[in-house]
Each structure stands twice: as structure tokens, then as C-alpha cells.
């Protein structure tokens, strides 16, 4: 599994745009291989954390930036995020 993290600094006005754009993304078509995706906010930073089945799934969505939840979100808000990718080496799933 792959964890994709993208974040950008936002002011209050941009945060409102982020929330609106997120509501559009969550009702859209889910990219193949996307396991789960979270939007978080704190200290003037908005972050999208996405869990992908494989690196190929992530890369395919990344090539079509508007199909990648993070880049679709930040592009819709005119923000340029910082993006990192991590290989998941452990997982604890609570029920």
C-alpha cells in the first residue's frame, strides 16, 4: 500500500473554497485503487491523506491530476501543494 500526503497553507477564505471543492470530489468517480482518503485541517494547513492499493494506482491518478483527490482539490482552489509518498509498512485497523 502507498500513502500519499499533500498539504498546502490556507487562509480562512481559501479554507472555505477547500471545503466546497472537497464536497464535489467526494461525490465524483473514485479513482481505481484508492482505498481511503481523508481531508484534515489545522494551524492554517489543509492536508489530503490518500491510501492506495499500489504505486501504479497512485501514479495513474497522479498523471491525470484532476483524478487524484488531492490534486483535484488543490487545483480547484488554486493552491500548489507539497506532496510526499510513503510505502505503508504496517497497518492497524480498529473495528
When pLDDT is averaged across residues 77-91 and rounded to a whole number, the result is: 93
- Distance CA(8)–CA(31), nearest Å, equals 22
| Whole-number average pLDDT of the chain | 90
pLDDT digits (tens, 9 = 90+) for 42-53: 999 999 999 999
Share of the chain above pLDDT 70, in %: 98
Long-range pairs, 65-68, Cβ under 8 A, ≥24? 67/29, 67/31, 68/4, 68/31
pTM: 0.88
Span 45-70, average pLDDT: 90
Q: What are the tens digits of pLDDT across the range 10-20?
A: 988 788 889 88
Domains and CATH numbers, the chain: 2-87 (3.30.70.100)
Amino acid at each position: 500500500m502507498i500513502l500519499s500526503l499533500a498539504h498546502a497553507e490556507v487562509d480562512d477564505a481559501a479554507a472555505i473554497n477547500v471545503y466546497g471543492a472537497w464536497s464535489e470530489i467526494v461525490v465524483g468517480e473514485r479513482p481505481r485503487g484508492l482505498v481511503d482518503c481523508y481531508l484534515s485541517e489545522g494551524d492554517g494547513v489543509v492536508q489530503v491523506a490518500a491510501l492506495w492499493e499500489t504505486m501504479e494506482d497512485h501514479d495513474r491518478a497522479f498523471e491525470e491530476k484532476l483524478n487524484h483527490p488531492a490534486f483535484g482539490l488543490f487545483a480547484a482552489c488554486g493552491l500548489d501543494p507539497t506532496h510526499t509518498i510513503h510505502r505503508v509498512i504496517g497497518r492497524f485497523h480498529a473495528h
